[in-house]
Chains A and B, each alone.
Chain A
Amino acid sequence: MGTKQTGGIEWVTILLVVSLFAVGFFAILNATGAPGDVEGKSVLQIMNQVNWSTVRLHSIWFGTGVILAVILMLVDYRYYARLTPILYIAMIVILIFVLMFASETYGSTSWINTFFGRTVQPSELMKIVLIIILAKLLSKYSAATGTLAFRDYVRIWALALVPLALVVLQQDLGTAIVYLFIIVVMFFLAGAKIWMLLLTGGAAAGAFVAAWTLDILKNTQKQRILVFLDPSLDPSGAGWNFQKALTAMGSGRLFGKGMFAPGAMSQLNYIPVQTKDFIYAVIGETFGFIGAGLVMLLFLLLLLRLFRLSGRIKEKFGALMIGGVAAMIAFHALESMGMCIGAMPITGIPLPFISYGGSNMWTNLLGIGLVLSVCLRNPFHRDADLQQGMYFSQEILQQNQIGFGLRSSWQSIVKARKERSERRRKYGG
């Protein structure tokens, strides 16, 4: 039975994202808002003493990000497929510009840190562009057959490797791995043959071993990689961070130390970059196993939901975009939480929707906007139906160019509501 059901607004995803933001709000508040001496004071007085400035900014980033996501949702996602070549080239140019500019004045001016540091990074936005262009290419070449020809496989890889190489040259190892993860997951979802992926993995491993043994990698680069894998090699840097984060995390125990607990490591700034990379340690210390476990559960639910959505949409471009966004969030979540519990190596990667920081918050919300846009315009199918073949639809681009498909999105919403109320009437619930 090919029951079709128009997606409508993807409330489950929205609910999960808002929940994660809520946890992040309190974690950041706890890390930055310390009200000072709270002994013998009423809740109201304490509230007055709290420093709201960071959470306020954080909320503003989230609010603007939500607006962006809604705009993205309302515009028909197929329109983005048309924009991809321009976006892709523009982003590559920016990345090259960053690389050239940064290497010329390496370490001499401070604005590079603020502009190309963690707050405003072109490589962040590149993640979204990468997801869109990969989704477009992969769906175009694989929609008909359900798999990729080797020639197409190689061509798409060549295109994907350009931004990857640029961030590697920027020495931004963490982001490079995010790109790689997104690329591999999307290839996998697009139906690339497993042997192709294994072959690629083997070739990459071989190239890496060759680069290492033939001393193409400089000693400092090797050192960076070694420290990345084993923080204890750098006891005053990464190792120090790791050890403090682990201690904070563990000391939270079941219920956590609570907000603004005097003497908590988050209160004494022991946790490094505690509003960003190590925010999960703050959650672990403040809200204990219950809080940290809840965050883990929320992420798992979000990822399962996104993959489920991806797996139930027949329009392959949209399905792959959801898969790419899911991959992006998944990697961030796994790495950021994993390094706080000692399961992953240390690298500076924020926890989606939770960590403080504008560009990452926007990037993730833009991704969610894409997801919502896809869900709004596609019916969900069962697994069995999907076997009957996926397609790559560019119809909207011919029919409904004016207004970026806003009319169709309105129609989709109305249609979904009508269907839902009909279903309720039919099944009595």
Chain B
Amino acid sequence: MKFLAFLKNRANWLSFVFIAAFGVFFVMLFRLQIVNGDLYLESSQSQKRREIRITGTRGKILDTHGTPLAYSQKAYDIQFTKDPTKNREADREAYTQVILKTIRLIRDNGDTVINSGALTMDEKGQFVFSWGVTAEDAVAAREKYWRNYMGLNAEKYPTAADCYWYLRSERYKIPAEVGDEEALLVLSVWQNVASVAYQSYIPVTIATNVSRTVVALIEMNSEELTGVNVAESSVRVYPKGELASHLVGYLGRMSDEDTIIRMEAQGYNRDDRIGVAGIEASMESQLSGSIGSRTGKRVVEVNAQSKVIREYAEESVPASSGNDVVLTLDVDMQTWLEKALLANIREVREKQEAAYLADQDRYDEILAARSDHEIAWCEYGAAVVMNVQTGEVLASASYPGYDPNLFAKGIQAEQLNALLFDRCYPLMNKAISSQGTPGSIYKMATSLAGLMEGVITLDTRISDQGEFRAHLAEGSSAKGPSCWKRNYEQHANQTVIDALKNSCNYFFYQVSYGLGIERLDYWVSQLGLDTTTGIELPGEAPCVMGNQDALYNPDRTLRNLPVLVRNNLIVYLRDKCRELGMEYDDSKYAETAEKLMRLAVSQDTHEYGADLRNILRQDLKITASGTLSVMSSDISQQIYQLIWNDNHTILTGIGQSVTLVTPMGIARYVSALVNGGKVYEAQLVDKILYPNGGIMEEKQPQLIRTLDVPSSFLAAIKEGMREVVSEEDGGTAASAFRNFEYNGQFGGKTGTAQVSNIDLENNAWFICFAPFDQPEIAIVVYLPHGYAGANACSTAKDMIRYYLEKKAASGEAETLPGVNGLTY
């Protein structure tokens, strides 16, 4: 009865309900703290523990005497960390104010703010997305990823402008008075915050390498700049600026996803900077402090705002620095070489302009007739000084250069574009990447081949007969090539030495005609003029020997002449078909053109007429036999250009035709000619040092092959090269070295390669070696559009003087008697 009354009281029901609820809670509390307590304890410790990756200092790049060309210096970055619990609108608004204030503070003091936002403004002031990629699927993937972490619906905010206005006004509350350019910078920071939303303790970098003033101002205002902090980092310094910029290179961000994946596999972070040019790129694995094995870690306890509260010193691992790279380069010599090259280029330009003005009407007439109405002036060039006994590069210049410090500081878009679109390609290392027609500097190779294959002997004498017709059929109406010398009688009874001195084309036409292309190419390749030099630099172009493969190979990407032929054929086929009342797709014409071109390398290159007509019949349904025979003859003329013939061979013998060389390849070639036939790999890295200065690796000269050639042959070639620059012998470069104090102590050879129908645009080469008796250095100067080979002599002259003077000075020092008769 009593119990029944108790039950009837509703307040008691509630008591039961709460006893039950608290009972459940109690069990849950027990499970949480007693059953699973250890797990949560562990988890609480790991949540507070952070391993902060520390990268080592990047190694230095030094010249052979230890002069630094690149080193890393401590710098300060400005970072922003958002408190992950602050997600309310008012919080976002407050953070926007903080970011805005920070950006203004940085920019007002002359530093730049990183802008990595996907939203940008184009030249017309329209908002556009910029994803850093162009492939359509990659753009779509990035946009999708971006929309996902930004939480932007593609239907609701389809355009960049929609996204911009929504983010700016609604989400991040950027005040209306802020300009678009500044607002985009704020949004860039917010974008980076959003992209790390799940690890919001990761700071977002707003600016790198800021000035001390900015650091001080940020620290001073730290009370109101919630979440903004100063972090230590490092900046790459190139103390010599533009000097040897192409060799040293610079650092940059990883450009594409593949690179990122590859570098992450080695323990890099995707934000780490890597070498992207020069030694910085090729020696990345030695220099880098970001590579997995060199990075260390700091183990710390952080609070919820990512502030470090405690260090676990015993678990921390210090980072080790990258190794230093010592180059074979001599900064002093490099300085001279760059100065000399620049002076040389300016001097040639003046000569060119004078020559143009002297005969302006004729030049203007030619210019008016061709597609490019501008004369290609001498504006850039390259020069290399190589140790002939080792292949070590002592100096290597490429003009114009650039200041790698621009990249270290974070290059601005307009600065980068200025470098990328300059017609002189300042970013390109022309000493290794520019391929040029060699011209007469190739004649030593032809000489050596002729002597080795017995086509000529040291005593063979050949007289210039004017037009060279040996390769032409009897009674042919075709014109044979002749020497540059109009009074060809002066090139009479020449030995190979005389021929080199005179640079007589006729002589070498005959030699190469006698050799044939296979035997000539064999010796050219023996001299290393068929490959890259193996120098430790990225982006080296190979030398290319003249032969059918270089002229036209249908299985490779078509370049130069074959492209021209193909385009001619397409136009021709389309015109003809229209005449016949037929119309095909352009792709059909292109396909047919390529099929026709293949006939050039078909088995029977002389009897392809029937095949040609078959192709026209089948592909373009042309049946009228009269039309076919007309077309066949027209097309044959085009195809004929693609077939290697004797004319090409004899032109190859004087360094023309499709032959291409790089200055570095030529430096190695000269070295081999004067060092007794030893072909080395070009070498720029001397040794690699541990951060403590100990030697880790000393690079030895890499001998590829020693040519088995009689020393008398090489001696004759050297003699020929000596006479080239000798006044009494009347060589082709004699006038350039008139009254030169070191005459007789070196040999050289000019090269003038024709590249167009204007002689002013000829490529100029000059190669030389010194001293004459025991050659030590080879010098190569290459001036595209340098007008005439002798024009490239002045750089070489300066360098010979520099080298021999220095050698004399150090020689005297070595032989000076010291105290107590000891020498040192």
Partner-B contacts on A (CB < 8 A): 107, 110, 113, 185, 188-189, 191, 235-237, 240-241, 244, 246-254, 262-263, 265, 267-270, 272, 284, 288-289, 292-293, 296, 299-300, 303-304, 307-308, 310-312, 319, 323, 326, 330, 334, 337-338, 341-343, 382-384, 386-387
The answer to whether A250 and B48 touch across the interface, beta carbons within 8 angstroms, is: no
Binds A, one of B27-35, B455-463, B502-510, B735-743: B27-35
For the A-B complex with A251-B44, A253-B34, A383-B5 known, give 4 more contacts whose Cβ atoms are closer than 8 Å: A248-B44, A250-B40, A263-B310, A334-B21
Closest CB in chain B relative to A417 CB, distance in Å = 27
Given the complex, which residues of B lie within 8 Å of A189, measured CB to CB?
A: 10-11, 14
A241 to B304, CA, bound (A): 11
Is B454 close to A, CB under 8 A?
Answer: no
The answer to whether A236 and B198 touch across the interface, beta carbons within 8 angstroms, is: yes
A337 to B26, CA, bound (A): 10
Selected contact of A254 from candidates B13, B34, B90, CB within 8 Å: B34
Given the complex, which residues of B lie within 8 Å of A343, measured CB to CB?
A: 24-25, 28
Q: Which 5 A-B pairs have the closest CB atoms?
A: A250-B40, A311-B11, A253-B37, A268-B303, A251-B44
The answer to whether A250 and B33 touch across the interface, beta carbons within 8 angstroms, is: yes
The answer to whether B310 and A307 touch across the interface, beta carbons within 8 angstroms, is: no
Given the complex, which residues of A lie within 8 Å of B25, measured CB to CB?
A: 296, 334, 337-338, 341, 343
Is B609 close to A, CB under 8 A?
Answer: no
Closest CB in chain A relative to B791 CB, distance in Å = 68
Given the complex, which residues of A lie within 8 Å of B22, measured CB to CB?
A: 296, 299-300
Question: What count of chain B residues pass the 8 Å CB interface test?
Answer: 53
The answer to whether B29 and A188 touch across the interface, beta carbons within 8 angstroms, is: no
**In B307-357, which residues have CB < 8 Å from any A CB?**
309-310
**In B29-82, which residues have CB < 8 Å from any A CB?**
29-30, 32-34, 36-41, 43-45, 47-48
CB contact under 8 A between A342 and B28, given known A254-B37, A265-B44: yes
A341 to B31, CA, bound (A): 9
Query: A113, A267, A308, A383 — which one has the most chain B CB atoms within 10 A of its CB?
Result: A383
Is B302 close to A, CB under 8 A?
Answer: yes
The answer to whether B28 and A236 touch across the interface, beta carbons within 8 angstroms, is: no
Query: A247, A269, A312 — which one has the most chain B CB atoms within 10 A of its CB?
Result: A247
The answer to whether B85 and A241 touch across the interface, beta carbons within 8 angstroms, is: yes
Q: Supply 14 A–B pairs (Cβ within 8 Å), ascending by A.
A: A107-B89, A107-B90, A188-B13, A240-B84, A244-B304, A250-B32, A270-B303, A293-B26, A307-B11, A308-B11, A311-B9, A342-B32, A387-B5, A387-B8
CB contact under 8 A between A265 and B36, given known A107-B93, A272-B85, A308-B11: no
Given the complex, which residues of A lie within 8 Å of B197, measured CB to CB?
A: 235-236
CB contact under 8 A between A236 and B200, given known A300-B18, A330-B18: yes
Is B15 close to A, CB under 8 A?
Answer: yes
The answer to whether A237 and B10 touch across the interface, beta carbons within 8 angstroms, is: no
A300 to B18, CA, bound (A): 7
A241 to B41, CA, bound (A): 17
Given the complex, which residues of B lie within 8 Å of A270, measured CB to CB?
A: 44, 47-48, 303-304
**In B276-313, which residues have CB < 8 Å from any A CB?**
301-305, 309-310
The chain A residue with its CB closest to the CB of B24 is A343
Given the complex, which residues of B lie within 8 Å of A341, measured CB to CB?
A: 25, 28-29, 32
Q: Is the interface of B mostly helix, strand, loop or mixed?
A: helix
The chain A residue with its CB closest to the CB of B200 is A236
Closest CB in chain A relative to B764 CB, distance in Å = 65
A251 to B38, CA, bound (A): 7
Is B19 close to A, CB under 8 A?
Answer: yes
CB contact under 8 A between A251 and B43, given known A272-B85, A330-B18: yes
The answer to whether A289 and B47 touch across the interface, beta carbons within 8 angstroms, is: no
Closest CB in chain B relative to A289 CB, distance in Å = 4
Is B702 close to A, CB under 8 A?
Answer: no
Selected contact of B37 from candidates A244, A250, A263, A267, CB within 8 Å: A250
Query: A250, A272, A303, A330 — which one has the most chain B CB atoms within 10 A of its CB?
Result: A250
A317 to B197, CA, bound (A): 53
The answer to whether B33 and A246 touch across the interface, beta carbons within 8 angstroms, is: no
Given the complex, which residues of B lie within 8 Å of A241, measured CB to CB?
A: 85
1/0 per residue B624-653: CB within 8 Å of A? 000000000000000000000000000000
Given the complex, which residues of B lie within 8 Å of A304, measured CB to CB?
A: 15, 18-19
**In B76-100, which residues have CB < 8 Å from any A CB?**
84-85, 87, 89-90, 93
CB contact under 8 A between A240 and B85, given known A268-B304, A383-B9: yes
The answer to whether B37 and A251 touch across the interface, beta carbons within 8 angstroms, is: yes
Selected contact of A235 from candidates B8, B13, B198, B309, CB within 8 Å: B198
Closest CB in chain A relative to B37 CB, distance in Å = 4
Given the complex, which residues of B lie within 8 Å of A246, measured CB to CB?
A: 32, 40
Query: B6, B26, B32, B36 — which one has the most chain A CB atoms within 10 A of its CB?
Result: B32
A319 to B9, CA, bound (A): 12
Is B2 close to A, CB under 8 A?
Answer: yes
The answer to whether A263 and B301 touch across the interface, beta carbons within 8 angstroms, is: yes
CB contact under 8 A between A289 and B11, given known A247-B43, A250-B40, A300-B18: no
Closest CB in chain A relative to B304 CB, distance in Å = 4
CB contact under 8 A between A292 and B33, given known A189-B14, A263-B310, A382-B5: yes
Given the complex, which residues of A lie within 8 Å of B774, measured CB to CB?
A: none
Is B490 close to A, CB under 8 A?
Answer: no
Closest CB in chain B relative to A226 CB, distance in Å = 15
Is B12 close to A, CB under 8 A?
Answer: yes
Given the complex, which residues of A lie within 8 Å of B33, measured CB to CB?
A: 249-250, 252-254, 284, 288-289, 292
Given the complex, which residues of A lie within 8 Å of B11, measured CB to CB?
A: 189, 307-308, 310-312, 319, 323
Selected contact of B12 from candidates A254, A284, A307, A342, CB within 8 Å: A307
The answer to whether A249 and B32 touch across the interface, beta carbons within 8 angstroms, is: yes
A270 to B305, CA, bound (A): 8
Closest CB in chain B relative to A223 CB, distance in Å = 11
1/0 per residue B197-209: CB within 8 Å of A? 1101000000000
Given the complex, which residues of B lie within 8 Å of A284, measured CB to CB?
A: 29, 32-33
A386 to B5, CA, bound (A): 9
A265 to B40, CA, bound (A): 11
The answer to whether A247 and B40 touch across the interface, beta carbons within 8 angstroms, is: yes
Given the complex, which residues of B lie within 8 Å of A252, measured CB to CB?
A: 33, 37
The answer to whether A110 and B10 touch across the interface, beta carbons within 8 angstroms, is: no
The answer to whether B15 and A308 touch across the interface, beta carbons within 8 angstroms, is: yes
Given the complex, which residues of A lie within 8 Å of B8, measured CB to CB?
A: 383, 387
The chain B residue with its CB closest to the CB of A382 is B5
1/0 per residue B605-624: CB within 8 Å of A? 00000000000000000000
The chain B residue with its CB closest to the CB of A107 is B89
A15 to B34, CA, bound (A): 29
Selected contact of A191 from candidates B10, B200, B303, CB within 8 Å: B10
Given the complex, which residues of A lie within 8 Å of B13, measured CB to CB?
A: 188
Closest CB in chain B relative to A232 CB, distance in Å = 12
A189 to B10, CA, bound (A): 6
Closest CB in chain B relative to A135 CB, distance in Å = 13
Given the complex, which residues of A lie within 8 Å of B84, measured CB to CB?
A: 236, 240
The answer to whether B12 and A311 touch across the interface, beta carbons within 8 angstroms, is: yes
A110 to B93, CA, bound (A): 11
The answer to whether A289 and B304 touch across the interface, beta carbons within 8 angstroms, is: no
Given the complex, which residues of B lie within 8 Å of A293, measured CB to CB?
A: 26, 29-30
A319 to B10, CA, bound (A): 11
Given the complex, which residues of A lie within 8 Å of B45, measured CB to CB?
A: 251, 263
A240 to B15, CA, bound (A): 34
Given the complex, which residues of A lie within 8 Å of B19, measured CB to CB?
A: 300, 304
Query: B33, B38, B43, B173 — which one has the most chain A CB atoms within 10 A of its CB?
Result: B33
A321 to B449, CA, bound (A): 116
The chain A residue with its CB closest to the CB of B14 is A307
Selected contact of A185 from candidates B1, B14, B47, CB within 8 Å: B14
Given the complex, which residues of B lie within 8 Å of A289, measured CB to CB?
A: 29-30, 33-34, 37
CB contact under 8 A between A110 and B90, given known A253-B34, A304-B15: yes
